[in-house]
Chain A
């Protein structure tokens, strides 16, 4: 057998494994979410005896899932906008200015990535407690913004560094105001980066568990904390299946959009100049 055909067999095998790796778990979750509450799916049935959307309705009507969805999907856009707004000045400094200690500053920006998530969550909670701050919604929002700043700053730094100085200078020479310079020289190049940063923070905020769980406990719910309540202590499989799908499906769609955006984040294609 030649080297090429061994490689081909290997690649085929890996592909099959990867499909099983993903398809089986998701198919199981989908089936479990469709099990009709009137007829349990138990051993030795290979497939659920009766399939319906009854479970989805029951969960929607009897649990705090609607509130959790509202919380998650209102926190996420707010966190995304705030993170981008607060990260942009730092990204500008990193991307367009030179100053002593810049490498160290960029390293320190990564702190939230290397601090264990639950340590941050618990002692952020402690900090709020000692300051007498008990409003959980703004607390979680603020915590998420800080946790996700490194990602937004990283993406925007690249965007800012791609802004062409000659275009900025040309606009200035032609007497453009500061706002006009921003509009013609910066904004077109920054746009994909801004969109990508908004999306990635949005996605991470929807998925964020530690802060919402620790600071939000006991009764402030987001989609991940509800999911945790069904898979942890009280394992309720069909409910967990429904919530898992509600959590994962929109995120996958958003991630695919993100991938497109990051691919188009090319200065030449954005500014129309080589």
Chain B
């Protein structure tokens, strides 16, 4: 691991300013992903700004009937919150489907959103990777691609976003609230927060340099039947091959977001208009234009079958 300076931030504004003006500086919260990448020298920050002392560890009601989740709320606490379990069950389920309890106890809400892909070619510094080293090429294309993206890919990158939590936040239309280095604040819809790879797969989110996540806002509860179905190679503690987050209302309408298939949480609102026609129609629209390989073509069928199962279960109530 490269040497780095370490500083505990005293306020969010100060933290944002510090990271923006210090060359090669990074925030650290839980550190469960960043530290792993630093050991492998995939991440090589010269300065770490520790934001753990800043508060932002509460879940509070908003004026419009939703919840504001502090950036530093640990994944365990978010999943276990009684209001989240009751009104945003898809979010609790998604969190509990990810990682292990040891990791969820440390991992934060903001860090979970910002975690980086587990593409093995990104992790292997002997391989070409446009995300790790822009312009170097992509060893995953033409390589082993069982876990890779099938929609929204580019010639530069076929990595998937590994988060379960973010898939649920996408189906709930959450908003990411931030403070910038100049002290101004903004709210970014989760749909616009993560980017598709395009020609710049190393730029993964809409955040500007030094911009710090303060909280994630959940809109007022949608009601309906919430589910998060994750299909993986082991029964526990593995990343998704495919995951499907659904909120299905009593009239049969609903929302669907899919994980394990793209560089960002994958949701196509137009596909949700097909709910009455059944899972096949919805998944065909969702996965339209999929570019698959022999290794990962199964993902298209798996999205359809997983969604069909979720819709059938919701009907039963």
A, B in one complex:
no
Q: Which residues of B contact A (CB under 8 A)?
A: none
Measured CB to CB, the residues of A under 8 A from B are none
